Structure 1
Amino acid sequence: MKSWPWLRIGLLAGLLVAIGVAVTFRDRIDPVALEAWIAGFGITAPLVFVAVYALASVLFLPGMIMTLAGGALFGPVWGTLINLIGATLGATAAFLVARYLGADWVSRRLGGRLKELVNGVEAEGWRFVAFVRLVPLFPYNLLNYALGLTRIRLLAYALATFVFMAPGAFAYTYVGHAGRQAIAGGEAAIQTGLIALALLAAVAFLPRLVKRLRVPAEWLTVQELARELAGHSPPVVVDVRSVEEFTGELGHVDGALNLPLDQLANRLHELPKDRPLALVCHTDRRSRTAAKLLHAHGFRDIHIVRRGMTAWRAAERSRHDQD
C-alpha cells in the first residue's frame, strides 16, 4: 500500500486536532497580553507578528484580533502592510494545505450543480477571489480552505487576496491604532477616532458598491459555447461588435445575431427573454457592458463569452491544426 494516502490522512488528522484545540481556547486569547508579548521581541516583532497571524489564519483563530493588534503595535501604515502580509501568507498556507490534502479527491467526486458552481468559480479565477475579499460572503478562514479545493492558480489567488483585502485591512488597522491613541488620551485621540469611524463606514458601504459594479452574467469559454450550440437548447449568440467587425477579418459565430453595442438599447425587442443569451465581441469588454444593460432591462439568463471572437478563432485554428 502506498504511503502517500496515509501521510495525507495523518496530516489531515493533525490539522483537525490543532484547529479543534485552537477553536476551543480562542475565547481565552487576551489581546493586551498578545500585544505585550509580541512587542517584547523588539526589532523582530514584525516578523513574529506575521508568523503568528499566518498561523492563526490556518487554525481558524479570529483575524480581527490580529488586525487590531497590528494597528496598535505598528501604526496605521506599517500596521496595514504587516497585517496584509500575515493575512495573505496565512490564506496562502491554508489554500495550499487544502489543495494538497483534498483537491484531487473533491474533483473526482464533484457532480451536478455543485460541479457547475465550482467550474464557474474557476472560470472567474482572480475575479472571484477579488469579489469575495471585498464582499466577505464567507468567513475568511473557511474561504481560504474552500478556494484551495478549486483549480484557481496560486499566484492569482495570493495577489488578489493581498490587493483586495487592503481596504478592509487599512480600516480595521486604523481602528486598532485609534484604540491605542484613545488609551493615550489627548486631542489627537478624538481626531483619530473620528477617522476610524469614517473608514469603518466606507468599508461597510463597499460591498454594496462592488455588487453594483459586478457584471450580472455568467462566463462561458469558447469550448463551452461550442458544446451548448451543438446541444438541444442552444443559446442565442448576440454579437455586439460593429457591422464592419461582424463581417470583417474575424468573422462571426454561425447564426449569431449582430446587435452593435451602440444600437442595443433600441433593439432589445429583437431578443427573446425565454432563451439564454451568449454575448460576444472582439474580446469581452463590450460584452460586459452589454450584460449590464440587458440585466437592467429584465434579461436574466445572460452569458459572456470569455475573450470573444479572438478566442473563438484561436480555438478553430487549433482544431484545424489537429485535424
Structure 2
Amino acid sequence: MNSKLLRFGLLTVLIVAIGIAISYRDQFDAEALEVWLDGAGAAGPLLFILIYTVAAVLFLPGSVLTLAGGALFGPVLGTLFNLIGATLGATLAFLIARYLASDWVERKTGGRMAQLKTGVEKEGWRFVAFVRLVPLFPFNLLNYALGLTRINLAHYILATFICMFPGALAYTYLGYAGREAIAGGEGMIQKILLALGLLVLVAFLPRWIGRLRRGPSQTVEQLKQRLDSEEDVLVLDVRSEEEFTGEQQHIPGARNIPLDTLPQRLDELNDYLERPIVIVCRTDKRSAKAAQLLARNGFGDVHVIQGGMTDWNDKGYPVE
C-alpha cells in the first residue's frame, strides 16, 4: 500500500476518534471510571494507565483521570500511575505528530507553533521542562505540538515525566483527600488542608519560575552601549502613551506597549521570544512587573533597566 495513502488513512482514523471522544467527553467522569476500575481487580493499575494513555491522545481531560488516580490508588501509587499514564500518552501523541500528523497538527496550533519551535531549538529539554511546569499551552495539544520540533525523544520523555510531578502530586492528593472526606476517614481536615496547600504551591510555580528566567537588571550605561553597538535588542517602554510622548520623552527606536495592555498584546512580541528585550519605564517599578509577565509567558532574555527614563535623562542621553 502506498505510504501516503496509509498515512492518510491512519490520520483519518485518529481525527475521527478524537472527534468521537470529544463529543462524549461530558460522560467521562471520575465516578464512572472508579466503578469500572474497581471491578478490574489486580489488572486495575495497568488498565488505568492504558486509559490515561489513550485519553491523552484523544484530547480527553486528564484532570478527571488524575483525581480518579488519587481516589483509587492513594497519593503515592496514584501519583506514580498518573505520571506513567500521562507520560506514555504525551509520548504517543508526540510520535504521532512527528511521524504521522505533522500537517494537521501545525494547522491546529497556528501561530503558537512558531513560539514552540523557537524555544525548543534554542533551549531543548529546558524549554520542555518550562512549559510542563508553567501551563502556557493546553496539555493535550502541547504533546502534539512538541512532536513537530527537533527535540530529542529521550530528553522530551525525561523532562515531561520529571516536570509534571508537582502538578500530578497536587491533583492526585486532592483526589485522595476528596475520597477520604466522603468516607469520613481519620485526619480528614488535615488531608484537605494539605491538598489545598499543594495546589497553592503549584499555582505559584509560574511566578517563581518566571523570576528564575528573568535576566539580571541592567544600567542605562549598559543599554546605551548595546544600542551604540547596534545590537539586536528591543527597547520596550511600558509607560502610558502620554508619558511616552510627554516630558521625559523616550529612547530612540523604543516600542511603547503600556503595562496595562501588555497581557493582551504579547503576540506582538513573538519575534523576540528568544531575543533580548530591555524594559523601560519612568523608574523601574512597572518594568519589574512587565519583566515577570514576559518571563512567565516564555520570553527567555528579558532585562529591566535600573532607574528607567529618569536615569537616562539624568545622563543626558538622546531622546525623541
Category of TM-score, reference length = shorter chain: 0.5 to 0.7
What residue identity is the alignment partner of 1:206? L
Match of 2:226 in 1: 272
Query: Match for 2:303 among 286, 295, 319?
Result: 295
How far does residue 214 in structure 1 lie from its aligned partner after superposition?
Answer: 1.3
Correspondence 1:67 to 2:23: no
Cα deviation per residue 1:136-184 (whole Å; 9 max; x = unaligned)?
A: 1111000000111111111111110000000000000000000110011
TM-score when normalising by structure 2: 0.67
Match of 1:201 in 2: 200
Match of 1:213 in 2: 212
TM-score when normalising by structure 1: 0.66
Match of 2:138 in 1: 139
Counterpart Cα distance in 2 of 1:113 and 1:147: 11
Match of 2:35 in 1: 36
How far does residue 216 in structure 1 lie from its aligned partner after superposition?
Answer: 4.7
How far does residue 125 in structure 1 lie from its aligned partner after superposition?
Answer: 1.2
What residue identity is the alignment partner of 2:226? P
How far does residue 29 in structure 1 lie from its aligned partner after superposition?
Answer: 1.8
How far does residue 119 in structure 1 lie from its aligned partner after superposition?
Answer: 3.7
Cα deviation per residue 1:44-64 (whole Å; 9 max; x = unaligned)?
A: 211111000000000000000
Contact 1:134/1:164, CA 8 A, preserved across alignment: yes
Cα deviation per residue 1:110-145 (whole Å; 9 max; x = unaligned)?
A: xx9976862442221111111110001111000000
Correspondence 1:166 to 2:165: yes
How far does residue 296 in structure 1 lie from its aligned partner after superposition?
Answer: 2.7
Contact 1:58/1:93, CA 8 A, preserved across alignment: yes
How far does residue 32 in structure 1 lie from its aligned partner after superposition?
Answer: 1.1
What residue identity is the alignment partner of 1:47? L
How far does residue 31 in structure 1 lie from its aligned partner after superposition?
Answer: 1.5
Correspondence 1:51 to 2:5: no
Counterpart Cα distance in 1 of 2:47 and 2:171: 20
Cα deviation per residue 1:8-53 (whole Å; 9 max; x = unaligned)?
A: 1101100000000000001012321211211211122111110000
Contact 2:121/2:150, CA 8 A, preserved across alignment: yes
Counterpart Cα distance in 2 of 1:87 and 1:24: 21
Unpaired segments ≥5 residues, structure 1: 218-263, 280-291, 299-323
How far does residue 269 in structure 1 lie from its aligned partner after superposition?
Answer: 6.3
Counterpart Cα distance in 2 of 1:46 and 1:134: 26
RMSD: 3.1
Please show how residues 1-323 of structure 1 align to structure 2 within 5 Å. Answer: 3-103=2-102, 118-216=117-215, 268=222, 271-273=225-227, 275-276=231-232, 295-297=303-305
Contact 1:126/1:157, CA 8 A, preserved across alignment: yes
How far does residue 102 in structure 1 lie from its aligned partner after superposition?
Answer: 3.7
Contact 2:214/2:303, CA 8 A, preserved across alignment: no
Contact 1:103/1:150, CA 8 A, preserved across alignment: no
Contact 2:49/2:84, CA 8 A, preserved across alignment: yes
How far does residue 101 in structure 1 lie from its aligned partner after superposition?
Answer: 1.3
Match of 1:261 in 2: none
Distance 1:213 1:12, change over 3 A: same
Counterpart Cα distance in 1 of 2:167 and 2:219: 37
Distance 1:94 1:113, change over 3 A: closer
SS in 2 for 1:51: helix
Counterpart Cα distance in 1 of 2:114 and 2:183: 54
Contact 2:133/2:205, CA 8 A, preserved across alignment: yes
Counterpart Cα distance in 2 of 1:151 and 1:84: 24
Identity of aligned residues (%): 60
Unpaired segments ≥5 residues, structure 2: 234-274, 277-299, 307-320
Contact 2:11/2:101, CA 8 A, preserved across alignment: no
Distance 1:198 1:14, change over 3 A: same
Counterpart Cα distance in 2 of 1:272 and 1:138: 33
Contact 1:102/1:149, CA 8 A, preserved across alignment: no
